[in-house]
Amino acid sequence: MYLTIKAQLFPDDAVGQELLRYERCFKREIFKICMVFKSKNSVFEYRYKNISNDISWTCKSIVLSKAKEMYTANKQGKLLKMNFSSIWNVQSFEIDHEKKRLGLILGRNQFQRKIFMHIYWSDYLEKRLHQGEILSLMLSRKNESWVAYFQMKFDIKWNLSDKVMGVDIGIKVPAVICTSDMKIRFIGNGKMLRYYQRSYRSKYKKLQHRKEFRKMTLMNHKLHHILNDIDHKISSRIIEFALHEDIGIIKLEKLTYMNRTFDIRITSDIYLWSYKRLQDMICYKANLNGIRIVYVNPKNTSKNCPDCGSLNYPKDRQYRCNVCGYHNHRDIVGAINILRAL
Ligand SMILES: [Zn+2]
Protein backbone atom coordinates (compact mmCIF):
# COMPACT_ATOMS: atom_id res chain seq x y z
CA MET A 1 0.00 0.00 0.00
CA TYR A 2 1.26 3.44 -0.93
CA LEU A 3 0.65 6.62 0.97
CA THR A 4 1.88 10.20 0.84
CA ILE A 5 2.82 11.87 4.08
CA LYS A 6 2.95 15.62 4.32
CA ALA A 7 5.26 17.63 6.56
CA GLN A 8 5.95 21.32 6.95
CA LEU A 9 9.46 22.61 6.28
CA PHE A 10 11.09 25.61 7.90
CA PRO A 11 14.24 26.53 6.00
CA ASP A 12 16.09 29.66 7.16
CA ASP A 13 16.55 32.46 4.63
CA ALA A 14 19.83 31.20 3.19
CA VAL A 15 18.52 27.64 2.78
CA GLY A 16 15.30 29.00 1.32
CA GLN A 17 17.32 30.82 -1.33
CA GLU A 18 19.25 27.62 -1.98
CA LEU A 19 16.00 25.70 -2.46
CA LEU A 20 14.70 28.29 -4.89
CA ARG A 21 17.94 28.12 -6.86
CA TYR A 22 17.72 24.34 -6.93
CA GLU A 23 14.12 24.49 -8.10
CA ARG A 24 15.06 26.74 -11.01
CA CYS A 25 17.91 24.43 -11.95
CA PHE A 26 15.77 21.31 -11.59
CA LYS A 27 13.01 22.63 -13.83
CA ARG A 28 15.44 24.14 -16.34
CA GLU A 29 17.18 20.78 -16.78
CA ILE A 30 13.87 19.00 -17.32
CA PHE A 31 12.84 21.60 -19.85
CA LYS A 32 16.20 21.50 -21.61
CA ILE A 33 16.17 17.73 -22.03
CA CYS A 34 12.56 17.82 -23.17
CA MET A 35 13.58 20.28 -25.91
CA VAL A 36 16.38 17.92 -27.00
CA PHE A 37 13.87 15.06 -27.21
CA LYS A 38 11.63 17.29 -29.27
CA SER A 39 14.37 18.24 -31.71
CA LYS A 40 15.33 14.55 -32.16
CA ASN A 41 11.65 13.61 -32.14
CA SER A 42 12.41 10.67 -29.87
CA VAL A 43 13.35 9.79 -26.31
CA PHE A 44 16.92 8.79 -27.01
CA GLU A 45 19.53 7.86 -24.44
CA TYR A 46 20.42 11.10 -22.77
CA ARG A 47 23.64 10.88 -20.82
CA TYR A 48 23.73 11.67 -17.13
CA LYS A 49 26.95 13.58 -17.58
CA ASN A 50 25.07 16.07 -19.76
CA ILE A 51 22.79 16.90 -16.87
CA SER A 52 23.99 19.76 -14.71
CA ASN A 53 26.12 18.72 -11.76
CA ASP A 54 24.14 21.08 -9.57
CA ILE A 55 21.53 18.34 -9.55
CA SER A 56 22.12 15.70 -6.92
CA TRP A 57 23.88 12.81 -8.59
CA THR A 58 21.29 10.23 -7.58
CA CYS A 59 18.42 12.45 -8.70
CA LYS A 60 19.51 12.72 -12.31
CA SER A 61 17.38 9.73 -13.21
CA ILE A 62 14.34 11.59 -11.86
CA VAL A 63 15.14 14.61 -14.06
CA LEU A 64 15.38 12.30 -17.05
CA SER A 65 12.12 10.49 -16.35
CA LYS A 66 10.30 13.78 -15.77
CA ALA A 67 11.65 15.09 -19.09
CA LYS A 68 10.34 11.97 -20.81
CA GLU A 69 6.98 12.46 -19.13
CA MET A 70 6.89 16.06 -20.29
CA TYR A 71 7.85 15.12 -23.84
CA THR A 72 5.15 12.43 -24.05
CA ALA A 73 2.55 14.80 -22.61
CA ASN A 74 3.52 17.52 -25.10
CA LYS A 75 3.27 15.06 -27.95
CA GLN A 76 -0.29 14.28 -26.93
CA GLY A 77 -1.03 17.99 -26.82
CA LYS A 78 -1.17 18.05 -23.04
CA LEU A 79 0.73 20.23 -20.67
CA LEU A 80 2.60 18.58 -17.80
CA LYS A 81 1.96 20.54 -14.65
CA MET A 82 5.11 20.97 -12.64
CA ASN A 83 3.41 21.34 -9.30
CA PHE A 84 6.59 20.33 -7.52
CA SER A 85 9.63 22.34 -6.64
CA SER A 86 12.03 19.41 -6.76
CA ILE A 87 12.01 15.65 -6.31
CA TRP A 88 14.53 13.63 -4.34
CA ASN A 89 15.20 9.95 -4.01
CA VAL A 90 16.14 8.12 -0.84
CA GLN A 91 19.90 8.41 -1.32
CA SER A 92 19.75 12.19 -1.62
CA PHE A 93 18.15 13.10 1.68
CA GLU A 94 18.23 12.13 5.32
CA ILE A 95 15.91 12.65 8.25
CA ASP A 96 17.21 13.37 11.71
CA HIS A 97 14.29 12.28 13.86
CA GLU A 98 15.83 13.49 17.09
CA LYS A 99 16.56 17.03 16.00
CA LYS A 100 13.59 17.05 13.61
CA ARG A 101 15.76 18.07 10.70
CA LEU A 102 15.77 17.24 7.03
CA GLY A 103 19.10 17.17 5.23
CA LEU A 104 19.38 17.40 1.45
CA ILE A 105 22.48 16.50 -0.52
CA LEU A 106 23.06 18.93 -3.36
CA GLY A 107 25.40 18.71 -6.33
CA ARG A 108 28.19 16.32 -7.13
CA ASN A 109 31.92 15.89 -6.52
CA GLN A 110 33.44 19.24 -5.61
CA PHE A 111 29.97 20.79 -5.76
CA GLN A 112 28.48 18.37 -3.27
CA ARG A 113 27.16 19.86 -0.08
CA LYS A 114 24.42 19.34 2.45
CA ILE A 115 21.73 21.74 3.52
CA PHE A 116 19.58 21.33 6.61
CA MET A 117 16.20 22.64 7.62
CA HIS A 118 13.69 22.09 10.37
CA ILE A 119 10.84 19.81 9.60
CA TYR A 120 7.58 19.43 11.45
CA TRP A 121 5.10 16.58 11.58
CA SER A 122 2.55 15.48 14.13
CA ASP A 123 3.19 12.53 16.47
CA TYR A 124 0.73 10.60 14.39
CA LEU A 125 2.78 11.09 11.21
CA GLU A 126 6.00 10.39 13.10
CA LYS A 127 4.59 6.95 13.90
CA ARG A 128 3.73 6.42 10.22
CA LEU A 129 7.23 7.36 9.08
CA HIS A 130 8.65 4.56 11.22
CA GLN A 131 6.06 2.04 10.07
CA GLY A 132 6.79 2.11 6.38
CA GLU A 133 9.55 2.52 3.86
CA ILE A 134 10.22 5.94 2.37
CA LEU A 135 10.51 5.82 -1.42
CA SER A 136 10.95 9.43 -2.43
CA LEU A 137 10.52 13.01 -1.38
CA MET A 138 8.82 15.84 -3.25
CA LEU A 139 9.30 19.44 -2.21
CA SER A 140 6.61 21.94 -2.98
CA ARG A 141 6.32 25.65 -2.42
CA LYS A 142 3.15 27.58 -1.78
CA ASN A 143 3.62 31.31 -1.41
CA GLU A 144 6.21 31.54 1.33
CA SER A 145 5.83 28.10 2.85
CA TRP A 146 7.60 24.87 2.02
CA VAL A 147 6.01 21.45 2.21
CA ALA A 148 7.62 18.01 2.00
CA TYR A 149 5.67 15.07 0.61
CA PHE A 150 7.10 11.65 1.45
CA GLN A 151 5.98 8.86 -0.83
CA MET A 152 5.82 5.77 1.36
CA LYS A 153 5.28 2.07 0.98
CA PHE A 154 3.71 -0.07 3.67
CA ASP A 155 3.74 -3.84 3.95
CA ILE A 156 0.40 -5.02 5.22
CA LYS A 157 -0.28 -8.14 7.22
CA TRP A 158 -3.99 -8.79 6.75
CA ASN A 159 -5.94 -9.73 9.83
CA LEU A 160 -7.73 -12.99 9.02
CA SER A 161 -10.23 -12.74 11.85
CA ASP A 162 -13.81 -13.33 10.69
CA LYS A 163 -15.19 -10.69 13.05
CA VAL A 164 -17.03 -7.97 11.17
CA MET A 165 -17.95 -4.42 12.10
CA GLY A 166 -20.54 -2.15 10.49
CA VAL A 167 -19.99 1.60 10.52
CA ASP A 168 -22.86 3.99 9.92
CA ILE A 169 -21.77 7.53 9.21
CA GLY A 170 -24.43 10.08 10.01
CA ILE A 171 -25.13 13.68 10.74
CA LYS A 172 -26.57 13.56 14.26
CA VAL A 173 -23.89 11.16 15.41
CA PRO A 174 -20.79 11.18 13.18
CA ALA A 175 -20.33 7.41 13.40
CA VAL A 176 -22.15 4.49 14.97
CA ILE A 177 -20.41 1.12 15.00
CA CYS A 178 -21.75 -2.32 15.60
CA THR A 179 -19.65 -5.49 15.78
CA SER A 180 -20.74 -9.00 14.82
CA ASP A 181 -21.00 -9.84 18.54
CA MET A 182 -23.33 -6.84 18.94
CA LYS A 183 -21.05 -4.39 20.68
CA ILE A 184 -22.30 -0.91 19.87
CA ARG A 185 -20.41 2.38 20.14
CA PHE A 186 -21.23 5.99 19.31
CA ILE A 187 -18.19 7.88 18.06
CA GLY A 188 -17.81 11.64 17.81
CA ASN A 189 -19.95 14.56 18.73
CA GLY A 190 -22.44 15.67 16.08
CA LYS A 191 -23.55 18.66 18.13
CA MET A 192 -20.07 20.10 18.14
CA LEU A 193 -19.76 19.59 14.38
CA ARG A 194 -23.04 21.33 13.70
CA TYR A 195 -22.08 24.15 16.05
CA TYR A 196 -18.89 24.79 14.08
CA GLN A 197 -20.81 24.70 10.84
CA ARG A 198 -23.54 27.03 11.96
CA SER A 199 -21.23 29.62 13.47
CA TYR A 200 -19.01 29.52 10.41
CA ARG A 201 -21.91 29.79 8.03
CA SER A 202 -23.33 32.89 9.69
CA LYS A 203 -19.90 34.56 9.76
CA TYR A 204 -19.42 33.53 6.17
CA LYS A 205 -22.65 35.14 5.08
CA LYS A 206 -21.67 38.41 6.74
CA LEU A 207 -18.36 38.38 4.90
CA GLN A 208 -20.12 37.55 1.67
CA HIS A 209 -22.38 40.51 2.21
CA ARG A 210 -19.37 42.77 2.68
CA LYS A 211 -17.61 41.14 -0.30
CA GLU A 212 -14.53 40.30 1.75
CA PHE A 213 -13.34 37.48 -0.47
CA ARG A 214 -9.90 37.05 0.98
CA LYS A 215 -11.31 36.60 4.47
CA MET A 216 -13.88 34.17 3.08
CA THR A 217 -11.15 31.99 1.65
CA LEU A 218 -9.19 32.14 4.88
CA MET A 219 -12.27 31.10 6.81
CA ASN A 220 -12.95 28.20 4.51
CA HIS A 221 -9.40 27.00 5.03
CA LYS A 222 -9.82 27.23 8.77
CA LEU A 223 -13.13 25.34 8.75
CA HIS A 224 -11.62 22.73 6.48
CA HIS A 225 -8.74 22.34 8.92
CA ILE A 226 -11.06 21.91 11.90
CA LEU A 227 -13.33 19.39 10.16
CA ASN A 228 -10.33 17.51 8.87
CA ASP A 229 -8.95 17.27 12.38
CA ILE A 230 -12.27 16.03 13.75
CA ASP A 231 -12.48 13.35 11.04
CA HIS A 232 -8.93 12.23 11.87
CA LYS A 233 -9.90 11.78 15.50
CA ILE A 234 -13.15 9.95 14.70
CA SER A 235 -11.51 7.57 12.23
CA SER A 236 -8.63 6.87 14.62
CA ARG A 237 -11.05 5.99 17.39
CA ILE A 238 -12.98 3.66 15.09
CA ILE A 239 -9.79 1.86 14.11
CA GLU A 240 -8.60 1.71 17.72
CA PHE A 241 -11.85 0.02 18.68
CA ALA A 242 -11.66 -2.35 15.71
CA LEU A 243 -8.12 -3.37 16.68
CA HIS A 244 -9.16 -3.88 20.28
CA GLU A 245 -12.03 -6.12 19.15
CA ASP A 246 -9.82 -7.99 16.64
CA ILE A 247 -12.03 -7.05 13.68
CA GLY A 248 -11.04 -8.48 10.28
CA ILE A 249 -13.53 -6.62 8.07
CA ILE A 250 -15.16 -3.21 8.31
CA LYS A 251 -18.32 -2.61 6.32
CA LEU A 252 -19.19 0.86 5.05
CA GLU A 253 -22.00 2.19 2.91
CA LYS A 254 -21.12 2.73 -0.70
CA LEU A 255 -21.99 6.35 -1.24
CA THR A 256 -22.40 6.37 -5.00
CA TYR A 257 -24.28 9.62 -5.18
CA MET A 258 -21.39 11.20 -3.33
CA ASN A 259 -19.16 10.62 -6.31
CA ARG A 260 -20.20 13.80 -8.00
CA THR A 261 -17.89 16.62 -7.05
CA PHE A 262 -19.27 19.03 -4.54
CA ASP A 263 -18.38 22.64 -4.69
CA ILE A 264 -16.40 23.00 -1.48
CA ARG A 265 -16.69 26.76 -1.64
CA ILE A 266 -20.31 26.42 -0.66
CA THR A 267 -20.22 25.87 3.07
CA SER A 268 -23.41 23.85 3.19
CA ASP A 269 -21.74 21.23 1.05
CA ILE A 270 -18.71 20.98 3.29
CA TYR A 271 -20.46 18.51 5.50
CA LEU A 272 -21.53 16.24 2.64
CA TRP A 273 -18.04 16.37 1.36
CA SER A 274 -16.56 15.44 4.74
CA TYR A 275 -18.76 12.32 4.64
CA LYS A 276 -16.63 10.94 1.85
CA ARG A 277 -13.46 12.18 3.50
CA LEU A 278 -14.28 10.39 6.74
CA GLN A 279 -14.89 7.16 4.81
CA ASP A 280 -11.58 7.55 2.98
CA MET A 281 -9.76 8.09 6.27
CA ILE A 282 -11.37 5.03 7.83
CA CYS A 283 -10.46 3.07 4.71
CA TYR A 284 -6.74 3.82 4.60
CA LYS A 285 -6.26 3.63 8.36
CA ALA A 286 -8.03 0.27 8.40
CA ASN A 287 -5.89 -1.05 5.54
CA LEU A 288 -2.69 0.12 7.24
CA ASN A 289 -3.72 -1.97 10.23
CA GLY A 290 -4.55 -5.02 8.16
CA ILE A 291 -8.32 -4.61 8.29
CA ARG A 292 -10.23 -5.04 5.05
CA ILE A 293 -12.96 -2.65 3.93
CA VAL A 294 -16.13 -3.88 2.26
CA TYR A 295 -18.60 -1.44 0.74
CA VAL A 296 -22.25 -2.43 0.93
CA ASN A 297 -25.33 -1.25 -0.91
CA PRO A 298 -26.85 1.58 1.15
CA LYS A 299 -30.38 0.80 -0.01
CA ASN A 300 -32.82 0.82 2.95
CA THR A 301 -30.08 0.43 5.57
CA SER A 302 -31.96 2.92 7.74
CA LYS A 303 -35.44 1.49 7.03
CA ASN A 304 -35.27 -2.31 7.22
CA CYS A 305 -36.08 -3.94 10.54
CA PRO A 306 -33.02 -5.87 11.81
CA ASP A 307 -35.34 -8.45 13.41
CA CYS A 308 -37.95 -9.32 10.77
CA GLY A 309 -36.71 -7.47 7.68
CA SER A 310 -39.88 -5.49 7.05
CA LEU A 311 -39.71 -1.93 5.77
CA ASN A 312 -40.53 0.94 8.14
CA TYR A 313 -40.14 4.69 7.84
CA PRO A 314 -38.75 6.10 11.09
CA LYS A 315 -39.94 9.64 11.76
CA ASP A 316 -37.55 10.66 14.52
CA ARG A 317 -34.38 9.35 16.15
CA GLN A 318 -36.22 6.23 17.32
CA TYR A 319 -36.80 3.30 15.02
CA ARG A 320 -39.95 1.28 15.63
CA CYS A 321 -41.05 -1.74 13.60
CA ASN A 322 -44.78 -1.85 12.85
CA VAL A 323 -44.70 -5.60 12.23
CA CYS A 324 -42.76 -7.14 15.12
CA GLY A 325 -42.50 -4.20 17.48
CA TYR A 326 -38.68 -4.08 17.44
CA HIS A 327 -37.40 -0.69 18.51
CA ASN A 328 -33.98 0.87 18.81
CA HIS A 329 -32.00 4.02 18.13
CA ARG A 330 -32.25 4.82 14.44
CA ASP A 331 -28.47 5.03 13.87
CA ILE A 332 -27.92 1.70 15.62
CA VAL A 333 -30.42 0.11 13.22
CA GLY A 334 -28.39 1.60 10.37
CA ALA A 335 -25.14 0.14 11.74
CA ILE A 336 -26.73 -3.30 12.27
CA ASN A 337 -28.12 -3.33 8.72
CA ILE A 338 -24.75 -2.33 7.28
CA LEU A 339 -23.12 -5.09 9.33
CA ARG A 340 -25.53 -7.67 7.93
CA ALA A 341 -25.66 -6.38 4.35
CA LEU A 342 -24.02 -8.49 1.68
ZN1 LIG B 1 -39.61 -6.04 12.61
Same domain, 174 and 285: yes
* Last residue of one domain, picked from the residues 153, 179, 213: 153
- The arithmetic mean of pLDDT across residues 226-230, rounded, is 85
Provide the mean pLDDT of the chain.
Answer: 86
pLDDT at 262 over 70: no
Domain count, the chain: 2
Q: What is the pLDDT of residues 15-32, one digit of tens each?
A: 999 999 999 999 999 999
Who has greater pLDDT, 301 or 335? Answer: 335
Same domain, 177 and 320: yes
pLDDT at 10 over 50: yes
212: phi then psi, degrees, rounded to nearest 5: -95, 80
Same domain, 172 and 55: no
The pLDDT score that the predictor gives to residue 264 is 41
Same domain, 226 and 291: yes
Same domain, 50 and 88: yes
Same domain, 202 and 318: yes
pLDDT at 266 over 80: no
What's the gap in Å between 84 CA and the centre of ligand 1?
57
Residue 234 maps to a domain: yes
Residue 15 maps to a domain: yes
What's the gap in Å between 52 CA and the centre of ligand 1?
74
Please report which confidence band the pLDDT of residue 179 belongs to, taking 50, 70 and 90 as the band edges: very high
- The arithmetic mean of pLDDT across residues 185-202, rounded, is 83
Please report which confidence band the pLDDT of residue 265 belongs to, taking 50, 70 and 90 as the band edges: very low
Name, in order, each residue with C-beta under 8 angstroms of 195's C-beta and a sequence gap of 6 or more.
none
Instruction: Tell me how far apart the alpha carbons of residues 105 and 93 are, in angstroms, rounded to a whole number.
Output: 6
Same domain, 203 and 271: yes
The 3-state secondary structure of 258-301 reads HHCCCCCCCHHHHHHHHHHHHHHHHHHHHHHCCCEEEEECCCCC
Alpha carbon 111 to chain centroid, angstroms: 37
What's the gap in Å between 327 CA and the centre of ligand 1?
8
What's the gap in Å between 341 CA and the centre of ligand 1?
16
Same domain, 184 and 325: yes
CB 149 within 8 A of CB 4: yes
State the number of CA atoms in the 13 A half-sphere of 295 facing the CB.
Answer: 8
pLDDT at 267 over 70: no
Instruction: Tell me how far apart the alpha carbons of residues 262 and 249 are, in angstroms, rounded to a whole number.
Output: 29
- The arithmetic mean of pLDDT across residues 255-273, rounded, is 48
Instruction: Tell me how far apart the alpha carbons of residues 153 and 13 are, in angstroms, rounded to a whole number.
Output: 33
Instruction: Tell me how far apart the alpha carbons of residues 14 and 3 are, in angstroms, rounded to a whole number.
Output: 31
Q: Whose CA is closest to 252, among 230, 277, 273?
A: 277
Same domain, 194 and 326: yes
> Residue 269 sits in a domain of what CATH number?
3.30.420
* Last residue of one domain, picked from the residues 109, 125, 153: 153
Print burial letters for 293-303: b (CB count within 10 Å at least 16), e (below 16): bebbebeebbb
Same domain, 6 and 121: yes
Residue 94 maps to a domain: yes
Q: What is the pLDDT of residues 60-77, one digit of tens each?
A: 999 999 999 999 998 888
The pLDDT score that the predictor gives to residue 257 is 52
What's the gap in Å between 66 CA and the centre of ligand 1?
61
What's the gap in Å between 295 CA and the centre of ligand 1?
25
Residue 158 maps to a domain: no
What's the gap in Å between 24 CA and the centre of ligand 1?
68
The pLDDT score that the predictor gives to residue 272 is 57
Q: Which domain holds residue 177?
A: 164-340
Instruction: Find the radius of gyration of the CA atoms of the chain.
Output: 25
* Last residue of one domain, picked from the residues 103, 134, 153: 153
Instruction: Tell me how far apart the alpha carbons of residues 206 and 216 are, in angstroms, rounded to a whole number.
Output: 10
Q: Is 175 helix (H, G, I), strand (E, B) or coil?
A: strand
What's the gap in Å between 333 CA and the centre of ligand 1?
11
Residue 73 maps to a domain: yes
Q: What is the pTM of this model?
A: 0.76
Residue 207 maps to a domain: yes
CB 299 within 8 A of CB 13: no
Same domain, 210 and 288: yes
Same domain, 28 and 119: yes
Residue 159 maps to a domain: no
